Amino acid sequence: MPRDFPQHTERALDGVIEECLSNAECKAAFPNVRADKKAVLAKLKNGPVEVEVRVPPDRSKPTRVRLSRDLAGEAVRYMLYNPGAASRIPLAVSEAAKGNFAPLAEAAIFYRQNIVATGATGLYLSITCAEDLPFTGMSDAAKQRADDETFLGDYRLRQQREACGEWPRAAVEKGYSELVHSKVPVLIMTGLWDPVTPPLYGDRVAKGLSNSVHVVVPSGGHGFGGLRGTECIDKLKTAFIRTADPKGLETSCVGSIRRDGFVLKLPDENR
């Protein structure tokens, strides 16, 4: 992390958009959401946009802010962490394409206040500056161009490299990043549209875990909030703990997990 965040976020974003277009109500509400996404990115690439937002603690008082491409992209990435929040992405993108960037800007502020500002940043940097950044390498011109075409861009990679340049870190032991091989029973779960640890990571680690099963949760993000049928996940975890037999698990119930719809319109207060 965060070398592949641009591609993983783009994959998840496109996946959510395709789910919207496969849903009759969402497609009717946002038939041009693919083109809207491209138009919004093009607009943000030209520079920050001026936005009037209403945020706690006093939502009655409007505030003007400048929304950058970096923080808009990061807001979308955080929305993708949870299927419930991701269900608002087609609406936010469609509104931005029409010139209303308030939903994206308000999401950016929310996540800055409730994730970035409240996280254990020092601990996060102490771990990732030692265990991840040394293995990211320097991006070549082709990857830089590819990253720039994604909604997130190189924001997180750039920011984290700069932070790790200032933060003390330990040296990890040789071979730290090599694949772990074990016969220990392991149940691996990933969300289909996780923007940070996507299913390909589950597939990769499973290659070294001979007594494992990898379950991909439909419509899931980094978490599974906002999905219907998630009692299946609890049943699988319970059965796994009781039996320690991942390959004997009955996983067919995962196919019944569904997104709990999409948000199709703004609240009255934002109209």
- Region of 258 (left: φ > 0; alpha: ψ -120 to 50; beta: rest) is beta
Residue 193 belongs to some domain of the structure: yes
| 210 within 8 A of 246, measured Cβ to Cβ | no
Residue 26 belongs to some domain of the structure: yes
The pair phi, psi for residue 4, each rounded to 5°, is: -100, 10
Residues 145 and 118 in one domain: yes
| Parent domain of 65 | 5-167
| 11 within 8 A of 151, measured Cβ to Cβ | no
Residues 126 and 223 in one domain: no
Residues 97 and 160 in one domain: yes
Instruction: Give tens-digit pLDDT for 135-158.
Output: 888 778 888 899 999 999 999 999
> What is the DSSP annotation of 170-193?
PPPPTTTTSPP-B-S-EEEEEETT
Q: Return the pLDDT at 59.
A: 78
pTM: 0.94
Q: Return the pLDDT at 271.
A: 43
Instruction: Give tens-digit pLDDT for 157-194.
Output: 999 999 999 999 999 998 888 999 999 999 999 999 99
Instruction: Give tens-digit pLDDT for 3-13.
Output: 999 999 999 99
> What is the DSSP annotation of 164-175?
HHHS--PPPPTT
Residues 145 and 37 in one domain: yes
Q: Which amino acid, 263?
A: V
Q: Which amino acid, 67?
A: L
**Residue 134, CA atoms < 13 Å, CB-side half-sphere:** 15
Q: Return the pLDDT at 70.
A: 96
Instruction: Give the pLDDT mean for 110-118.
Output: 91
Distances (CA, A) of 113 to 57, 65, 122: 12, 15, 17
Residue 14 belongs to some domain of the structure: yes
Mean pLDDT of the chain, nearest integer: 94
Q: Return the pLDDT at 112.
A: 92
- Three-state DSSP at 65 gives strand
Residue 253 belongs to some domain of the structure: yes
Residues 191 and 156 in one domain: no
Residues 163 and 192 in one domain: no
The pair phi, psi for residue 113, each rounded to 5°, is: -80, -35
Last residue of a domain, one of 167, 201, 229: 167
Work out how many domains the chain is built from and give that number: 2
Residues 141 and 202 in one domain: no
Instruction: Give the pLDDT mean for 74-90.
Output: 97
Q: Which two tokens stand for residue 160?
A: 């984290």
Comparing CA positions, the residue from 89, 100, 105, 115 lying closest to residue 55 is 105
Q: Which amino acid, 8?
A: H
